[in-house]
Structure 1
Amino acid sequence: MKQNMYREQTVLKISVYGALIFSVAGILLGLIINSQIVLFDGLYSLISLGLSTLSLFAAKFMRTADWKNYPFGKDKIEPLVVLLKYFVILLLVVASLFSAIVAIFSGGREIAVGIALQYSFVATVLCVGTTIYLKNAANKSDSALIRAEANQWYMDSFVSIGVLAGFLISYIFFHIDSLRWTVPYIDPIMVVIVSIVFIKVPITEMGSSIREVLDMKPKGRVPNQIKAFVKELTIKYDFDEHFVRVSKVGKTLWVEVDFVVKNTDVIETLADQDQIRQEIHTFLDQYSKQKWLTVSFTEDRKWAL
């Protein structure tokens, strides 16, 4: 467990340092060559830097146990941080989209195409490399923070690839007299395209985080698989009824099972009850998440509702 947390912090630190380099380079060059898409890339990296730093602090804070003040753990911090991150990204995307549309109707933007093309090539290679590293790290862990970082860099890589393609087109059109007039419009058009594509990612991820904050049933087959197994136990032990509640918050899978038992001969001792708890716990071991399992038994169904 601790090893996973230290690995998470290491990955987040790499993301922070990478975002610092890209933010400084993108903002300075974007202002120098008057390119909104490069400036967008730099501002996105700057926001990523702040949000990555926030993720790093959140990971450190969650690593320290404080059962007195957080009796149910600190799992909700993770979706709250992710929700904040994507909300800020959504604001940047919407603002950039509006600015680009205004630029298009104002005659476009003149940029230094040669310098921009060189920058976009280097940025694309580094962004894609960082994204691959973070995606692999996200696949090896169950950290929503690392997954959010990987998504941020994936989006940044998409921008970089789009910028590279756009500046390559600009460079070609600049040397064709009949198409040179289109060059000032390519930069803001790239911002519009990237912004429209980007909007889906933060909205989708914010929806997932909201589900966790509200303790909603997680998507996928896991809840139904757990309910099916508990139903089998109900039949096996001749219980009258069962109620299953499943939610996922951060890295923890929360499962609450309530059995309504009229025939108490089946569970005469605490050891009998613990045996059933162990069966459920063993079944949950197939899921690569931390578990918070609560199993209760009652004769009156009102205590299970």
Structure 2
Amino acid sequence: MSFAIYPYVRRKGRGLKSTLLDLDGRSWLLGGLLSASLCLSFGVAGLLEGVGAGQFAAYVDPAIPIVLSVCMAPFPAATIAHAGREILQIAPPDLDARVDGIARDVAARHGFVNHRSYVTKVGRAQFIEICFVAPSAATVKTLGEFDAIRQEIADAMGGRRPGYWLTVEFTADPRWI
């Protein structure tokens, strides 16, 4: 039963990008593997008894779960590493590089002398902050032009959507970035 529920929960978890459903799916898989290993250990022990090697049967029951535990250890370790990156607010490198590339292109097109981007991903939410430095305090742009730049960045990131927080700032003083 566990092996039947695992792919369903896993697929739903990926579709919703839910860490909790992914973890629940893994628990179904691990539970199924544990049950299967116990059945296997009883079967192997019975087989050993049947062929006259009963003295080894006592070692089968602890050996199979030990091997299974060693094989399953990477599952919780990967989950802990992923959760640690979220707690420390470390953005995925591909998302960070994508945001920086978009900011670099926008800075070059609109005449900004520098930019800085900060990206954080927590669960399904993405927090993106980009700050542009103008060449001088005398640079004049209207609020409409700044909003158009923000919209250009939002469009390059795939448009505005739930769970996506975009902040774009403009300054002439590099100390603010």
Query: TM-score, normalising length from structure 1?
Result: 0.54
- 1:148 corresponds to 2:15: no
CA 1:169–1:230 in structure 2 vs 1: closer, same or farther (change >3 Å)?
Answer: same
Offset of residue 188 of structure 1: 0.9
Instruction: Render the CA deviation track for 1:258-293: whole Å, top value 9, x for unaligned.
Output: 101125677611111111111121222279872111
Residue in 2 that maps onto 1:127: 2
Amino acid at match of 1:268: K
Offset of residue 217 of structure 1: 2.5
Residue in 1 that maps onto 2:164: 291
- 1:196 corresponds to 2:79: no
Residue in 1 that maps onto 2:115: 242
Could you tell me which of 76, 83, 105 is aligned with 1:232? 105
Could you tell me which of 124, 128, 135 is aligned with 1:251? 124
SS at match of 1:248: strand
* Counterparts of 1:129 and 1:288, CA distance in 2: 34
Indicate the structure with greater helix content.
1
RMSD: 2.2
Instruction: Render the CA deviation track for 1:132-159: whole Å, top value 9, x for unaligned.
Output: 1111111211111111111222222222
Matches within 5 A, 1:18-57: none
Instruction: Render the CA deviation track for 1:57-110: whole Å, top value 9, x for unaligned.
Output: xxxxxxxxxxxxxxxxxxxxxxxxxxxxxxxxxxxxxxxxxxxxxxxxxxxxxx
* Counterparts of 1:267 and 1:185, CA distance in 2: 80
* Counterparts of 1:266 and 1:272, CA distance in 2: 12
Gaps of 5+ in 2: none
Could you tell me which of 136, 155, 166 is aligned with 2:11? 136
Query: TM-score, normalising length from structure 2?
Result: 0.89
Gaps of 5+ in 1: 1-125
SS at match of 1:181: helix
Whose radius of gyration is greater, 1 or 2? 2
Indicate conservation of the 8 Å contact 1:245/1:257, yes or no.
yes
Indicate conservation of the 8 Å contact 2:125/2:164, yes or no.
yes
Indicate conservation of the 8 Å contact 1:253/1:289, yes or no.
no
Report which stretch shifted further, 205-214 or 155-164: 155-164
Residue in 1 that maps onto 2:146: 273
Q: How many residues align?
A: 177
Indicate the structure with greater strand content.
2
Higher relative contact order (CA 8 A, sep 6+): 1
Residue in 1 that maps onto 2:35: 160
SS at match of 2:73: helix
